[in-house]
Amino acid sequence: MVLEPYDDEDISSDDRIVRRIIPEQHVVPDEHSGRCRLSTKLMKPSSPERGGGMSVDLLELIVAAGVPVEEFLSKPPFTAAVCFTAGSAREKDLMIGKDPIDNAEDQNPFHGEVWSKIGNPNKFSRSQSNALLAASSWVIRIDGVDIVTE
């Protein structure tokens, strides 16, 4: 099912938006620090089959449902997660909407999407991706990996 991009008024500016991490795809060496860091690829659209936005989870919905956050967010292939506020995304001309998944392969009533308001909703600018990464904090940390922008 393809969802038309929209900005959900029920998602407040303070609500936390979670992006789950697959280390093999989202962790890269940082030549400046000699450590590892999150790639801006983490903050790019990832759901062409669902409307082209960036697949996220809505933390307040997970908490309100009484679901163990760390257990839910670290289901394979995911091992870690970061979050940013809906307000920080909206400041960069991004929209957030609910998009629950309910099919034979997957069930996630807390799923959402983030889309761009500028140009193609399924493409984020480098500035938008960098801003989301800079606004992020760990929900489930990866030891030895930093959150920095390029």
The tens digit of pLDDT for each residue in 79-90 reads 999 999 999 999
For the segment 34-47, the average pLDDT, to the nearest whole number, is: 91
Q: Which is more confidently placed, 94 or 31?
A: 94
The CA distance from 99 to 2, in Å, is 10
The CA distance from 101 to 56, in Å, is 11
pLDDT > 60? residue 150: no
For the segment 104-130, the average pLDDT, to the nearest whole number, is: 90
Please, what is the average pLDDT of the chain? 92
Q: Which amino acid is at 99?
A: D
Q: Which is more confidently placed, 51 or 146?
A: 146
pLDDT > 90? residue 148: no
pLDDT > 70? residue 47: no
The CA distance from 101 to 78, in Å, is 17
Helices (H), the chain: 23-26, 59-64, 69-73, 86-90, 126-134
Backbone angles phi, psi at 17, to 5 degrees: -105, 125
At 32 the pLDDT is 86
pTM: 0.92
The CA distance from 101 to 107, in Å, is 5
